[in-house]
């Protein structure tokens, strides 16, 4: 849903959007270019582990990371942000 909404905005040339399918791919993208913000789904945190999330966070220290979650994943999102 978020990707669809953002894609519509991209067509208006308001900003550039780059999507990845994993935290590892996000790490590669961050090493290649600078981003204004990173949106990450908490399911990536769950499936790839908190180590990968923390590596991305360390790599993109000055870039805000927004953690998105479903209502039933609030505890996991809190864990990701707290650590």
- The string of pLDDT tens digits covering residues 35-47 is 999 988 767 655 6
Res. 72 pLDDT band, cuts 50 70 90: low
Q: In angstroms, what CA-CA distances link 57 with 8, 26, 34?
A: 28, 10, 13
Q: In angstroms, what CA-CA distances link 76 with 18, 44, 80?
A: 25, 11, 6
> Percent of the chain beyond pLDDT 70?
54
Query: Are the CB atoms for 52 and 24 separated by under 8 Å?
Result: yes
Res. 20 pLDDT band, cuts 50 70 90: confident
Res. 31 pLDDT band, cuts 50 70 90: very high
Element (H, E) at 66: strand 65-68
- Residue 76, pLDDT above cutoff 70: no
Q: Which residues contact 40 (CB under 8 A, 6 or more apart)?
A: 23, 26, 53, 56, 65, 66, 67, 68
What average pLDDT does the chain have? 76
Instruction: For residue 61, give the nearest of 24, 35, 23 by alpha carbon.
Output: 35
């Amino acid at each position: 849903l978020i990707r669809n909404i953002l894609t519509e905005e991209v067509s208006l040339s308001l900003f550039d959007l780059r999507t990845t399918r994993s935290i590892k791919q996000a790490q590669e993208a961050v090493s290649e270019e600078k981003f204004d913000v990173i949106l990450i789904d908490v399911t990536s945190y769950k499936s790839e582990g908190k180590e990968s999330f923390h590596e991305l966070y360390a790599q993109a220290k000055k870039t805000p990371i927004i953690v998105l979650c479903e209502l039933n994943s609030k505890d996991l999102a809190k864990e990701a942000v707290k650590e």
